Amino acid sequence: MTFDWSVIIDNWPRLLHGAGNTILLAVCTMALALPGGLLLAALRMTPWAPIRGFATAFVEFFRTTPVILQVYWVFYVLPVMTDIRLSAFGTGLAALTLNVSAFNSETFRAGLNSIRLGQRNAGLSLGMSDWQVLRLVILPQAVPRVLPALASTWVSLFKDTSLVSVIAIDELSYVGLQLRSQTFRVLEVLTAMAVLYWIMGYPQAKLVDWIHRRIKVAE
């Protein structure tokens, strides 16, 4: 068995381009899924039961079905049902954003609910508005508590971006799998992909560990 790494060296720009798209997709998804999650969390806490029910059903659907199915669904079914036609990248972004928003909303909800009612009452009894209570009392306590969970979601998201390769978005997995079928250098290509994912993912995982430690110390 001999390894021929020239295939990796020759196609290095393509792999780098793929890795860049992986990062771009993850960053864009999280940038949309943070406000998306907040919105869903807010909808789930409104006094209006139908809105609450809709938001709950939405969240539960995206939390309990496979991401890859969601990607396929947005790619094949959504255009037929709604006439919305997205680019491949847009489709992947939409599917991942819906999924991560659902997870983020649960994180936000747990964070907000973890601040006991007495804190809110204390703020209100000083004459604060609901908005002031949220901004001055609840969020400063809730945000540090949800950071570790958000960071874990981020690491999962980063790896889950590989799933959108099934709809031909040229992120790292798609580029790698293409390269594999074009060159038949299966071992080299898969190894290079693994190394690239690891190089990108390891610092993130360490960062998450650090955040977890920091929050624990602060509490």
Least distance in angstroms from the C-beta of 164 to another protein = 39
Task: Give the contact letters, 133-162, x = binds to another protein (CB under 8 A), - = no.
Answer: ---xx--xx---------------------
How many residues bind another protein (CB under 8 A)? The answer is 16
Nearer to another protein, 6 or 119 (CB): 119
Question: Contact at 8 Å (CB) between 213 and 45?
Answer: no
Cα separation, 154 vs 200, in Å, equals 12
CB of 141 to another protein, least distance (A): 6
Which is nearer to another protein, 52 or 145 (by Cβ)? 145
User: 203: burial class by Cβ within 10 Å (0-12, 13-18, 19+)?
Assistant: exposed
Task: Check binding of 126 to another protein (CB under 8 A).
Answer: yes
113: contact with another protein by CB under 8 A: no
- In the bound state with another protein, the residue whose beta carbon lies nearer, of 128 and 190, is 128
Cα three-residue angle 177-182-188, rounded to 5 degrees: 60
Pick between residue 124 and residue 166 the one whose CB is nearest to another protein.
124
Nearer to another protein (CB atom), residue 146 or residue 169: 146
53-91 per-residue burial string, b: 16 or more CB within 10 A, e: under 16: eebeebbeebeeeebbebbbebbeebeeeeeeeeeebeb
Distance (Å, whole) CA 66 – CA 70 = 7
Q: Interface residues with another protein (CB under 8 A)?
A: 118-119, 121-129, 132, 136-137, 140-141
